[in-house]
């Protein structure tokens, strides 16, 4: 059974691909930042992203920006997602104003040009390591 789970995890990784992204440089006093990339499902079955982690932050979550109308006003915000499904043969863009990873509780200030390792976790137990540069944009 264990070999079957390892094989299934390998299959999920074979169908997932990441287009290079970046981590937003924030002032040293700011303890949260965002990471962006494009996640592609090259397979024939859906992928479910259920989490992420990095050594530079206490936790990583992913969010979707949203816009609501309240009392005649437009309210912009973001809401955390418990998971994100990537349909077969499609891409999901994590970019400013859309989906994004929140690196919460930075353990130290990040520096422009440094590389951050982000590990994406999928429902089947597979993990995908992504290396993202810190950039001021």
For range 120-129, the mean pLDDT = 95
Domains of the chain (ranges; CATH) run 2-135 (2.60.40.1890)
Quickly state the pLDDT bin for 13 (edges 50, 70, 90): low
Question: Over pLDDT 90: what percentage of the chain?
Answer: 75
Supply 40's token pair: 């592609």
Residue 124 confidence (pLDDT) above 80: yes
Supply 10's token pair: 């390998």
Q: What is the C-alpha separation between 114 and 130, in angstroms, rounded?
A: 14
């Amino acid at each position: 059974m264990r070999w079957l789970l390892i094989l299934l995890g390998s299959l999920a990784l074979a169908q997932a691909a990441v287009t290079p992204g970046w981590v937003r440089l924030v002032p040293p006093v700011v303890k949260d930042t965002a990471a962006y990339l494009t996640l592609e499902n090259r397979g024939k079955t859906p992928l479910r992203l259920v989490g992420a982690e990095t050594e530079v932050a206490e936790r990583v979550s992913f969010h979707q920006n949203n816009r609501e109308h309240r009392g005649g006003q437009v309210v912009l915000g973001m809401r955390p997602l418990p998971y994100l499904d990537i349909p077969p043969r499609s891409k999901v863009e994590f970019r400013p104003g859309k989906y994004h990873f929140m690196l919460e509780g930075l353990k130290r200030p990040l520096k422009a040009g440094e590389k951050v390792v982000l590990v994406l976790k999928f429902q089947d137990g597979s993990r995908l390591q992504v290396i993202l540069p810190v950039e001021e944009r």
